[in-house]
Amino acid sequence: MSEHFGAKSTTDDVLAGVDLSGKRVLVTGVSAGLGVETARVLAAHGAHVVGAARDLAKAKGATEVVRAAAAKGGSLELIALDLADLSSVRACADALVADGRSFDLVIANAGVMAPPFGKTADGFETQFGTNHLGHFVLINRIASLLKPGARVVSLASSGHRFSDVNLEDPNFETTEYTPFGAYGRSKTANILFAVEFDRRHKDRGVRAVAVHPGGIQTELARHLDPAFLQGWIDDLAAQAAAKGEAPMEWKTIPQGAATSVWAGVVAPIETVGGLYCEDCHLAPPVEDAAEVRFGVRAYALDPANAQALWALSERMVGEAF
């Protein structure tokens, strides 16, 4: 399975020699970081990219590099999407469905990490509502546009190991809020979404996969105290040293976006569909609570957990898919 790709592979490495002419791709979160790089490399290889962003003015400036890199008929168009407001999510989905053009790939890239406690426009805890429920509604509403052979890539994180989902209290109404506990719940939800979406759609040739991009310094970390972040890095370094492993290295943005592109275009889908990938490989299972760098927890791939989250999500958003 493309064994020559790994943690240091870039988007250009992964797509070397790949022609995406005629392919249509939706990428959320194209106003910065991984979303911009993902859109850039796809357009550079001929794909028509629909980039979704909350702030279209910011996205227009950030994606000038995408337009400049477009080749082989590749192009970019922007569409408004605020994942923290389901009226915006539904308007975006309705516009795409009304347009009628199908997609070969959806990369659910946008998200927030570890903000102070807050709520979305619909009253959901910010991270669960934005990272999970917003994408849940968007992708389900445009599922009819996913042609046979299409893939959905759900960006999760190693942060899923901070917490399983809480099906009884998703909005922290009775449990104490912690920024990373909430982040962990939302990232576990991103994996479980891929598990259940894949189960529901694979018979028609549409597959889903979750990915961890790796540790990258992007705007995602804007809510983190620098001292806290450095302390976390120091803890990871100490854990690595105790195991005789190399310390964690930050990935560049092209390296961070590589796994999304690999899973969406290059990876054998029969091997990764419904599963979780990192460093351009399928992630191994891990149950060691002290291990926070590699692998995937069993609860994040549990089919029953995925189906229960799906049912809860439908109740929360008031739609059945």
Catalytic residue IDs: 183
List the alpha helices (DSSP H) in 147-299.
179-201, 226-242, 253-256, 258-261, 269-272
Q: In what order do the strands lie in the sheet with 207-212?
A: 75-80, 48-53, 24-28, 103-108, 146-155, 207-212, 276-278, 281-282
Half-sphere exposure of 64 (CA within 13 A, CB side): 4
**Helix, strand or coil for residue 18?**
coil
Residues 6+ apart with CB under 8 A from 85: 120, 121, 122
Q: Which two tokens stand for residue 205?
A: 């040739």
H helices of 100-246, in order, are 126-127, 135-141, 179-201, 226-242
- Dist. CA 220–CA 119, nearest whole Å: 18
The number of residues making up the chain comes to 321
Residue found under tokens 């106003």: 31
